[in-house]
Amino acid sequence: MSAFHGSKINPDRFHRSQIKFYLFLIPLAVFMAMPIVFVFSHAFKPIDELFAYPPRFFVQKPTFQNFIDLMNNTSASGVPMSRYLFNSIAITLLVVLLTVLISTMAGYALSKKRFRLKKTIFEINTLALMFVSAAVVIPRYLLIEKVGLLDTFVVHIFPLIAMPIGLFLVKQFIDQIPNELIEAAQMDGATDYQIFGKIIIPLVKPAIATIAILSFQLVWNNTETSTLFVNDENLKTFAFYMSTLTATTGNTVAGQGMAAAASLIMFIPNLIIFIILQSQVMNTMAHSGIK
């Protein structure tokens, strides 16, 4: 017993016993941060450094010329870069909001409500997790064509608001909320909307944060919709525009510089939203594991 006297398994302050963890974690953190540093460094490289051999990891003479060229560039059809960026921002905001709303409402119904085929519906949702997007491209195209959404702004939103993993995570969270809590609220005269807004939403914030990140990454980086379902250049997204930079500029050298700047613009929102919500994501993973 005396061997453990005065010691803690997880001390509040630094203890020499933690050195072995730092020796492993610090090199690992540096290694994992290298791609992030490279994306920032690469975007500010002048043309000669972009094509330098051997390649340089860090920029020597940083410049904003790549961003200036990107802002001034237009597509082959004459659409400015700002239009693509506006489309991406508007579509992303709408999809994230609708995905969170639909996933939480459906999760509440499947977890706490009683109705026929409830179990079957959830099993279908779980089955949908098995399919990658490439496997459902043709059925999705046929469905979108049938409902008349081809070459419309809504086609960027409609196919992405149904998110099986989001519904699954929210239901797992809501399952852990005691039924007695909801029954007590009902006895006090609370409606379903009041229970959903004042009890369910505050208790599933970690799951909501995770859904927001996953849906954001899905739609922000999506090029499939603009490639397969949209012909009007004014309706296409910044991710699609970035993927065509080197091919449409007519100058592959200048295109590489603009592509580097566009990559940073695409990356920064992902980094920011993850930094803000990462603690909530860790809570979601912990609860899902316990469940």
CATH number at residue 98: 1.10.3720.10
pLDDT class of 2 with cuts at 50, 70, 90: very low
Do 113 and 208 lie in a common domain? yes
pLDDT class of 246 with cuts at 50, 70, 90: low
pLDDT exceeds 50 at position 208? yes
Do 206 and 106 lie in a common domain? yes
Final residue belonging to a domain, choices 26, 49, 65? 65
Final residue belonging to a domain, choices 65, 87, 104? 65
Do 144 and 51 lie in a common domain? no
pTM metric for this prediction: 0.80
Domain containing residue 36: 2-65
Final residue belonging to a domain, choices 46, 65, 84? 65
User: Mutual orientation of helices 164-175 and 205-220 as an angle, nearest 10°?
Assistant: 180
Do 49 and 85 lie in a common domain? no
Q: DSSP secondary-structure letter at 214?
A: H
When pLDDT is averaged across residues 190-209 and rounded to a whole number, the result is 90
pLDDT exceeds 70 at position 181? yes
Do 134 and 189 lie in a common domain? yes
pLDDT exceeds 50 at position 290? no
- At 281 the pLDDT is 65
Say how far apart CA 66 and CA 59 lie, in whole Å.
Answer: 13
pLDDT in tens, 102-112: 999 999 999 99
Do 13 and 125 lie in a common domain? no
When pLDDT is averaged across residues 208-218 and rounded to a whole number, the result is 90
Q: DSSP secondary-structure letter at 97?
A: H
Do 23 and 61 lie in a common domain? yes
Do 128 and 219 lie in a common domain? yes
pLDDT exceeds 80 at position 9? no
- At 248 the pLDDT is 55
Do 54 and 149 lie in a common domain? no
Concatenating the DSSP letter of every residue in 109-176 gives HHHH---TTHHHHHHHHHHHTT--GGGGHHHHHHHHHHTT-TTSGGGGTGGGS--HHHHHHHHHHHHT
pLDDT exceeds 80 at position 280? no
At residue 67, what are phi and psi to the nearest 5 degrees?
-70, -35
Do 202 and 259 lie in a common domain? yes
Residue 222 DSSP SS3: coil
Residue 80 DSSP SS3: strand
- Give the number of domains in the chain: 2
When pLDDT is averaged across residues 52-75 and rounded to a whole number, the result is 84
88-93, long-range: CB within 8 Å, 24+ apart, which pairs? 88/220, 88/237, 88/238, 88/239, 91/153, 91/156, 91/157, 91/219, 91/237, 92/216, 92/219, 92/220
